[in-house]
Structure 1
Amino acid sequence: MIKNLFRVVVFSIFILGCKDTQNINVKEAETEANKVTTSVDTYAKDNYNKKEVMIVMRDGIKLHTTIYSPKDTSKTYPILMMRTPYSCRPYGENEFKSKIGPNKYLMEEGNIMVYQDVRGRWNSEGVYDNMRAYIPNKTGNQVDEASDTYDTIEWLVNNVENTNGNVGTYGISYPGFYATYSLLDSHPALKAVSPQACIGDFFFDDFIHNGAFLLSYWRATSVFGYMKDTPTKEAWYEFPNIGTEDQYQFFIDNTPLSKLDDYYDEKNVFMTQIEENVTYNDFWQKRGIIQHLKDIKPAVMVVGGQFDAEDLYGPYNTYKSIEKNSDNYNTIVFGPWSHGDWARNRDRQVIGNMHFGDGISDYFQKNIETKFFNHFLKGEANGETGLAEAHMFDTGKKEWQSFEQWPPKNTMKQSWFMQPDERLTKLALRNIATSDFISNPRKPVPYSEDIKVVFTPRKFMTDDQRFASRRPDVLTFETEILENDVTLAGDILSKLNVSTTGTAADWIVKVIDVFPADTENTDDVQDHLKLSNYHMLVRSEVIRGRFRNSMTNPEPFVPNQKTPVNLKLQDVFHTFKKGHKIQVQVQSTFFPYIDANPQTYVDNIFKAKEEDFKVQTHKVFNDSSIEFTILK
């Protein structure tokens, strides 16, 4: 029983996270499992009744649904629903979650809380399909997650007592994807939706970034890859035992990637799909949801974390797509959070070594999330919420700001050029020059100094990058000490002009805030570090160079030929303060967050051989630039 509970907690960490989100490993997850079993919070059990039902979908498949209804039946309540692939546990009408709903305020004021195991997962019937493709204009018994959501809401509003007929959906990460999905062909009773850290497209979220495989998520494919054919209340999959606490060394020892096949076979359907679909082909395109977000009717509040290593693409592009293609109430909130931090009750908000303030998540839950749902589910629902269109946290100044849109209106594009002698300047030299480095895929640049086995990396998103800037295979470009504040508010576009002696290469670009030498430490800093001259990672991204012109039609580099490679980094809202410096690092490995490119072009890197991995020399030309969105 404990083993199965542990499995549930581990994948819950992947989506919702536990109390410790700085660097999550197996031992820490087991500790959290023990905390779950000894919880003494009985509010839900004291104030709610619990009922479990199997709701029949239009094709006859039954989905397990758990309903928590307030014991106080003197008034009516809206329904708040989360659909999840991660289980409605605990099962049994006498077994209660310690906390229900999006936050404690919505739980304590009274709402009908509903959880559902999605099709093919846990105690629901049917066949699971990872990021099930949306079917427009469905006919007959055709089903997708939109129809399952519609059918569920239809049953709930007609069968649950004491409801006022209004429904809201929400969820973090994969449940956030299902919340987004509820917007498509939405039920008339669906009034408010909050996709949070929502997956938008698996080719750009979580497992793949611009064609590069996020190797550090390899073990997480167990959660999604193993299928079941009958309802179950127990975990049916296991995570591979890698036999070491040194993740970097494990993946070095298992390069090329084909060596990892010893740990999984074709029964891991999702890993097989990743290995067989290495371009942005029809398989991935059909599973994306961003392109379908048009003419949305319910009110939407998209939520994300500026330091979410898993899902930045999804939240930003969900908001932007709805904003562009719909005329509904649509807002966005981004705070100084890692994956799902805003749903936790921890007072002190710390990511890695960086403290951003106290009470930030509670502020969001009480003054933003609760206000949003109450307005559209219990209130006037006229859109006059008093909330900002975009409520964003400046991760440099460590303060909230509100805007009428995102990115803000009063911004401009500004380019900085990568010059020899490690300089980042607003003007490029007229003479052609390059900054060169030797990239060895057998000795890749680590993404973190920490020696740990991390189930899903998070802490590194604010990590000190000094260790990388001091390596010869990392190029560093830095401004002079800033004489005034510089605030980035929007996306970042790196326009590299490069060459390589090989035929393949990855390109990683990092934007870094260099602190002054007199910056004082806080209690949150790791023992071996100081905030004096700290190199705080603000944003990073990778592109597998073969996809520089097209995500669907990869092509090799021509050796020693100057080639443009553009790479978009997801939005930031960060002020580089006066006295700080802006730094950009360019490298070709970021291991094992990202798998090592052999640097010899092969059609499928999952089938690369030992002899394909070769040392190559890369050059970055001095007309390479990084384009910032600057707040005026």
Structure 2
Amino acid sequence: MTLTHCAMKALIFSFLLSFLAIPLVAQPQAWNIQREVVRIPMRDGVSLEAILYKPAGKGRFPAIVYRTPYGKDEYDGYAMFPLAAAKEGFAVFLVDVRGRFGSEGEFRAYHQERPDGYDLIEWVGKQPYVNGRVGTYGGSYPGIVQWLALSEAPEALKAAAPDMTPINSHYFYYFGGAFSMPWLDWFMPFIVPDLRKKANDTSGPWHDGEAYDDWVKERESWYKHRPLSDMPLLKKYAPYYYDWLSHPDKSDWWDFASVEKDFGKMQAPALLLSGWYDAAYGPLGAIQAFQEMKTKAATAMARENTTLILGPWNHTSITVRKTNFGEVDFGPSAGFDFDRVLIDWFTIHLKKEEAPMPDPVSVFVMGANEWKTFSDWPVPNIESTTFYLAAGADNKSGKLVLQLSKKAKTMSYTFDPNNPVYDKSFEKSYPFDQREIEAREDVLVFTSEVLEEDIEVVGLVEAALEVSSSAKDTDFHIVLCDVYPDGKSINLSGLDAGYLRMRYREGLERQVLMEPEKVYPISIDNMATANLFKAGHRIRLYITSSSFPHYDPNPNTGTNIATEANLIPAVNKVHVGGKNASKLILPTVKK
């Protein structure tokens, strides 16, 4: 079902609300609201500080909770949602998580968020001005804390809206087995300054704006610092960072921030949102969470009312005016009034016990630049279309073809981790012309013929490759692009998606080194997108071995990566045609 010109409120909620007589909580002088600061006790005696907005006058209202490590006061300085929601009859709590800003205790990223989330939500639900029904919202860290609270099943929690978050903490830290470098960009400007302030430490800035400016000046050198485990920046204020480095394999150790095993406990439905250019864990987390909630959640309400929205956005706040990202204008339909959608979502689930939902999956198809709704994910009416990788006129450029070539060929490049592929959009991914990257000597490019008819792709993209290397360990990275008639090559996801560290080719739970020059089949399928490749365009896949500074470049030594200081080149090969048939598998919409 195509909805080209409808606003997203209509797409998800207007039909429903027009037919449901939802009784609103009494709102005396509805535009009058009040603000106060409250303290919320935790089970161990620590108290969290919160800003509360609620309707003025007497009444019992549904509550909405936002928990953040970034400072409730800063959020309160610009966010419109808390005031808008209060004017529509909600009590809204903006809470500093444990150990941050106005809240007591020690901050240790994610470790205390399960019990604190439970205690906070139950306390809020029992306040005399709350009707016992609580919702939560927020993205990234404020989204992850919602999953952790959902896993504790507080009775008062009736709806959640975790956006742009993972559900598996291991791939939050080690995507495809490679360590995520942006944790430095998180700690240094956004976490460490307030910790310095609390310690009365004048060795650096106390405010994130100043800290960010300082960090930008020096971050490039720290990205290149080796060994990773010897990097001194976080020894004092985030020593657990080094614990992360010492646990590269997926294991129960990572359960402190993971909810993969917990969906059977979750009782409240979730509104899940991410973007095709969000950090790679975002769309994958939303998709996986939707599938898990639909099949495993503890209540019919949660299973039947969880909703998935995937748009053209990156890791950002979303408004109706945000339609242009990077070098692509996605048109007026791409705009999205997320605040309005949230209010409608909480109106349904906090002011009325049950409400049947329309199609639960909404996807923005790039290229067509329109929204479509579906009954499920993977979306119905999808088939796999295979493009085989074939050799071209030289060792660097190849073809994407529908018929397998019987002629086997090896295409190779030298990957030097001292000179990795650099993503200029690394802070917040966006679409841009990839031809400068594609021109590098360490990038193989495979392009289809000009399309005679449209091809619509919606879902997970997979590259099933046959590869070898001169090294015992190396990385492979794929990028899917839409090549326009004028030649520009636009990436269809962030450049942190589509990544694999070879020692984890058999699974993230254990490391298996390569035998140099042996050919290995691998699958890289941690990339999601939706795009209409129009007639006259071409499909392109490029393959390389780094995406910096998203991930630490593989040293190619086969040693412990966290403690390795030496980075050596490797000759990496992709085998095409014949029995070693590398291929690109696209989820295409049947015509």
- 1:159-178 equivalences under 5 Å are 159-161=127-129, 163-178=130-145
Change (3 A) 1:117 1:571: same
Give the structure 1 partner of residue 5 of structure 2.
none
- 1:583-598 equivalences under 5 Å are 583-598=540-555
**Which one-letter code corresponds to 1:281 in the other structure?**
S
- 1:43-82 equivalences under 5 Å are 47-71=32-56, 73=57, 76-82=60-66
Per the normalisation by structure 1, the TM-score is 0.78
1:126 aligns with 2:105: yes
CA contact (8 A) 1:348 1:359 kept: no
3-state SS of 2:344 partner: helix
Give the structure 2 partner of residue 474 of structure 1.
443
Uncovered stretches (5+) of structure 1, i.e. residues with no partner: 1-45, 133-143, 451-455, 518-532
- 1:599-618 equivalences under 5 Å are 599-602=556-559, 604-610=560-566, 612-618=567-573
Give the structure 1 partner of residue 22 of structure 2.
none
How far residue 462 of structure 1 moved from its aligned partner, in angstroms, is 1.0
**Which one-letter code corresponds to 1:197 in the other structure?**
M
- 1:524-539 equivalences under 5 Å are 533-539=487-493
Give the structure 1 partner of residue 509 of structure 2.
552
- 1:3-22 equivalences under 5 Å are none
How far residue 47 of structure 1 moved from its aligned partner, in angstroms, is 4.0
Give the one of 70, 82, 87 matched to 2:71: 87
Give the structure 2 partner of residue 425 of structure 1.
401
Change (3 A) 1:325 1:605: same
Count of aligned pairs between the two proteins: 537
CA contact (8 A) 2:66 2:94 kept: yes
For residues 244 and 98 of structure 1, the distance between their equivalents in structure 2, rounded to whole angstroms, comes to 24
Change (3 A) 1:190 1:229: farther
- 1:72-471 equivalences under 5 Å are 73=57, 76-89=60-73, 97-101=77-81, 105-132=84-111, 145-161=113-129, 163-205=130-172, 207-222=173-188, 223=190, 235=206, 239=211, 250=221, 254-258=224-228, 261-265=231-235, 267-309=237-279, 311-326=282-297, 327=300, 328=302, 329-342=305-318, 345=319, 347-358=321-332, 360-366=334-340, 368-378=341-351, 380-385=352-357, 387-421=358-392, 422-448=398-424, 457-459=427-429, 461-471=430-440
How far residue 109 of structure 1 moved from its aligned partner, in angstroms, is 2.5
Give the structure 1 partner of residue 483 of structure 2.
514
CA contact (8 A) 1:100 1:113 kept: no
For residues 226 and 170 of structure 2, the distance between their equivalents in structure 1, rounded to whole angstroms, comes to 21
How far residue 241 of structure 1 moved from its aligned partner, in angstroms, is 7.9
- 1:571-586 equivalences under 5 Å are 571-586=528-543
How far residue 361 of structure 1 moved from its aligned partner, in angstroms, is 4.0
CA contact (8 A) 1:169 1:182 kept: no
Q: CA offsets per residue over residues 422-452 of structure 1, 9 Å max, x none?
A: 111122212322221121222222223x7xx
**Which one-letter code corresponds to 1:497 in the other structure?**
E
For residues 227 and 510 of structure 1, the distance between their equivalents in structure 2, rounded to whole angstroms, comes to 38
Change (3 A) 1:513 1:550: same
CA RMSD of aligned residues (A): 2.9
How far residue 255 of structure 1 moved from its aligned partner, in angstroms, is 4.6
Change (3 A) 1:557 1:235: same
How far residue 411 of structure 1 moved from its aligned partner, in angstroms, is 0.8
Change (3 A) 1:244 1:318: closer
For residues 400 and 80 of structure 2, the distance between their equivalents in structure 1, rounded to whole angstroms, comes to 49
Change (3 A) 1:593 1:146: closer
For residues 535 and 240 of structure 2, the distance between their equivalents in structure 1, rounded to whole angstroms, comes to 47
For residues 126 and 466 of structure 1, the distance between their equivalents in structure 2, rounded to whole angstroms, comes to 50
3-state SS of 1:323 partner: helix
Change (3 A) 1:568 1:629: same
CA contact (8 A) 1:240 1:263 kept: no
Q: CA offsets per residue over residues 593-617 of structure 1, 9 Å max, x none?
A: 2221111211x2121123x423434
How far residue 458 of structure 1 moved from its aligned partner, in angstroms, is 1.4
Give the structure 2 partner of residue 6 of structure 1.
none
For residues 340 and 160 of structure 1, the distance between their equivalents in structure 2, rounded to whole angstroms, comes to 35
3-state SS of 1:294 partner: helix
For residues 130 and 52 of structure 1, the distance between their equivalents in structure 2, rounded to whole angstroms, comes to 24
Q: CA offsets per residue over residues 295-321 of structure 1, 9 Å max, x none?
A: 532122111112102633322222221
Change (3 A) 1:235 1:317: farther
Change (3 A) 1:363 1:264: closer
Give the structure 2 partner of residue 620 of structure 1.
575
3-state SS of 1:496 partner: strand
How far residue 381 of structure 1 moved from its aligned partner, in angstroms, is 3.6
3-state SS of 1:586 partner: strand
3-state SS of 1:120 partner: coil
For residues 98 and 243 of structure 1, the distance between their equivalents in structure 2, rounded to whole angstroms, comes to 23
Change (3 A) 1:443 1:90: closer
For residues 268 and 58 of structure 1, the distance between their equivalents in structure 2, rounded to whole angstroms, comes to 24
For residues 364 and 154 of structure 1, the distance between their equivalents in structure 2, rounded to whole angstroms, comes to 26
Uncovered stretches (5+) of structure 2, i.e. residues with no partner: 1-30, 393-397
1:490 aligns with 2:459: yes
CA contact (8 A) 2:153 2:265 kept: no
CA contact (8 A) 2:148 2:258 kept: no
For residues 501 and 418 of structure 1, the distance between their equivalents in structure 2, rounded to whole angstroms, comes to 21
For residues 349 and 414 of structure 2, the distance between their equivalents in structure 1, rounded to whole angstroms, comes to 57
3-state SS of 2:72 partner: coil
How far residue 160 of structure 1 moved from its aligned partner, in angstroms, is 4.3
CA contact (8 A) 2:194 2:206 kept: no
Per the normalisation by structure 2, the TM-score is 0.83
